[in-house]
Amino acid sequence: MSMCYRKVILPILFLSAWSAPSVFAKPQQAPADFRVVHVIGMQGVKPNTKGKVTVSKDALEFASGTNKSEILTPSIQDALTGADSQRLIGGTLGTLSTFAPYGSGRFLSLFRTKLDTLTIAYRDSGGGLHGAIFTLPQGQAAVLKKQMVAEGAKTSISVEDEANPQGNSKKGKGQSL
């Protein structure tokens, strides 16, 4: 029995331990891509264009197919996140559903999906103030904003304050500011 143990079991254990990922290996932090919809604001990008946003030390880059546009990270003056919703059934089918009989199309428009918004105020090379608005899947805007701030973007409301809109106010009921 011990000979079988040495010839079969030990090599299997050795190979499985060797091929398993190391617990102590540090993960490489590649820039994360965020799937977004550019609502409006970036120069050279059409409204409602779907694409990916990547944040680096130098710039926030929006890429859609071969079209790329960027905003320099240090030029970002403010980044604000918000929550919104959109119709579950959109596009041509959503428009045609409004003509359904007995108001059933209007009823379908009540079904909505939640999403996040990210609004960016930035300055161009001439000092002009511009803005861009993106929509992201729910829960992604705060992550993107945190990456932008870590890379040098400015914000008037910290990520922690946006996550806790009530703040740590110690005022009781009935007290005014």
For position 143, which CATH number holds? 2.30.29.30
Domain that holds residue 81: 30-156
Q: Looking at the domain assignment, is residue 95 inside a domain? A: yes
pLDDT of residue 168: 52
Q: Looking at the domain assignment, is residue 78 inside a domain? A: yes
Q: Looking at the domain assignment, is residue 169 inside a domain? A: no
Q: How many CB atoms lie within 10 A of CB 98?
A: 12
Q: Looking at the domain assignment, is residue 18 inside a domain? A: no
- CB distance 159 to 149 below 8 Å: yes
Counting the structural domains of the chain, the total is: 1
Residue 117's DSSP bridge partners are: 82, 135
pLDDT of residue 1: 52
Q: Looking at the domain assignment, is residue 111 inside a domain? A: yes
Q: Looking at the domain assignment, is residue 120 inside a domain? A: yes
Q: How many CB atoms lie within 10 A of CB 174?
A: 5
- CB distance 121 to 130 below 8 Å: yes
Q: Looking at the domain assignment, is residue 90 inside a domain? A: yes
- CB distance 122 to 132 below 8 Å: yes
Q: Looking at the domain assignment, is residue 77 inside a domain? A: yes
Q: How many CB atoms lie within 10 A of CB 153?
A: 22
Angle at 69 between CA 65 and CA 70, to 5 degrees: 135
Distance CA 27, CA 34 (A): 19
Q: What is the pLDDT along the chain (177 residues), one digit of tens a residue?
A: 555 555 656 556 555 554 455 444 444 444 578 999 999 999 889 999 999 999 988 899 999 988 899 999 999 999 999 988 876 766 677 677 777 777 676 666 677 788 999 999 999 989 999 999 999 999 999 999 999 999 999 999 887 776 665 655 444 444 444
Residue type for position 62: F
pLDDT of residue 113: 82
> What is the pTM (predicted TM-score) of this model?
0.67
